[in-house]
Amino acid sequence: MTFFINQTKSLLFRHSFWILVVFFWVSGNLNSQYNMKLYAGGLYYHGDLTENLISSKANIGLGLSCGKEVKPWLDISGRFVFGTISGSDQTSYNYNYRNRNLSFKSNIYEFSLNSGININQLFWKSLNKYNLNLFITGGIALFHYNPKTQLNERWVALHPVGTEGQNMERYKENSYTLNQLSIPFGLIVEFDLYRNYKMGLELSPRITFTDYLDDVSSFYINRDEMLASGNELGALLSNRQGELSDQNVNVETGTKRGDNNKMDWYSFLSFYIKYSFPSKKISKSI
């Protein structure tokens, strides 16, 4: 599974330039209508700190996109999304989660290329009389994140700390980068408002290729081993079970901390306002 994920990421990174070239070539050469969307909604996280499908807590997310309707049934756009995701074991009903006592938050900065297929125009034109459009969407995104946790009322960035031994030579396989690819997909319900304005509701999960959105993935490193490597902060933040009882709780290296068989996800549930710029009429010279 890890090999497949690494190969997929490598393939997408190597061809990302050509994806951009094709996108802008298509956008620039087709006789089509430009549009702009403003998004506001909630970002949801799903990972090692959620026992349910998604976190019950939504954080504010905002977005802006510019696109073109290249066919009556096809819209292509570039989009920027900014927001925050978070998770905490203390919100769980499961005792084992609460006892683990881990938490995080992270800002998300995402740029994506997306296509939207208008289902009405292809299969369901009878819906047009209701001024309603249904879309399925898909694309590719590059995003930056930086998980942090709170210690003594101070937010600490977890990536440089190495809570799962990333700063130790023997555990380098647990290393991760803060810039990652994701695959957004989803559904849109869009309504006509007034003239060139429309309003939409979009649900768009993101498949990611990292299990470290929350800085939790694999196993604990023994506290004494952490301290021997000089990583006192890592020893504090890797295992926080003792904070619930004011006792040092030590575990053996290799004890399960997260589930590295599943990648983390995040989703954007948003409303948007769309403005379609009037098409330019080009007169043909005789």
Q: What is the pLDDT of residue 32?
A: 61
Residue 27 has pLDDT above 90, yes or no: no
pLDDT (0 to 100) of residue 122: 84
279 has a pLDDT exceeding 80: no
The residue type at 30? L
How far is Cα 142 from Cα 105, in angstroms, rounded to an integer?
A: 19
Cα–Cα dist 104/146, whole Å: 10
| pLDDT single digits (tens) 111-137 | 999 999 999 888 877 766 778 899 999
For strand 154-157 and strand 179-194, is the pairing parallel, antiparallel, or unpaired?
Answer: unpaired
Percentage with pLDDT > 90 across the chain: 66
Q: For the chain, which residues make up each domain, given as ranges?
A: 2-26+38-276
pTM: 0.85
Between CA 31 and CA 77 the distance in angstroms is 15
- Choose between 32 and 186: higher pLDDT: 186
pLDDT at 249: 78
pLDDT of residue 31: 54
Q: What is the pLDDT of residue 284?
A: 46
Query: Rounded to the nearest 5°, which phi and psi values hold at 229?
Result: -85, 0
- In order, the DSSP letters of 92-119 are -S-HHHHHH--EEEEEEEEEEEEEEEEH
User: How far is residue 103 from each of residues 90, 98, 144, 147, 264, measured CA to CA in Å?
Assistant: 8, 10, 19, 9, 15
Model confidence over 220-278: pLDDT tens digits?
999 999 999 999 999 999 999 988 876 667 889 999 999 999 999 999 999 999 999 98
Can you give 234-269 as a three-state secondary structure string?
HHHHHCCHHHHCCCCCCCCCCCECCCCCCCCEEEEE
Give the tens place of pLDDT for each residue, 39-91.
Answer: 999 999 999 998 776 666 899 999 999 999 888 899 999 999 999 999 999 98
Distances (CA, A) of 104 to 48, 97, 147, 179, 211: 11, 14, 6, 18, 14
At 36, the pLDDT band (50, 70, 90 cuts) reads very high
CATH 2.40.160.20 for the 2-26+38-276 domain, yes or no: yes
Tokens of 249: 């709780």
- Would you give the distance in Å from CA 283 to the centre of its chain? 45
Predicted local confidence at residue 200, as pLDDT: 97
Say yes or no to pLDDT of 18 above 70: no
Q: pLDDT value at position 283?
A: 47
The angle formed by the CA atoms of residues 90, 93 and 97, to the nearest 5 degrees, is 55
Taking a C-beta distance cutoff of 8 angstroms, is the pair 209, 8 a contact? yes
Site of tokens 């939207």: 116
pLDDT band at 285 (very low <50, low <70, confident <90, very high): very low
User: Does residue 16 have a pLDDT over 80?
Assistant: no
The pLDDT score that the predictor gives to residue 221 is 94
Q: What is the largest CA-CA distance in the chain?
A: 88
Of 118, 134, 112, nearest to 205 by C-alpha is: 112
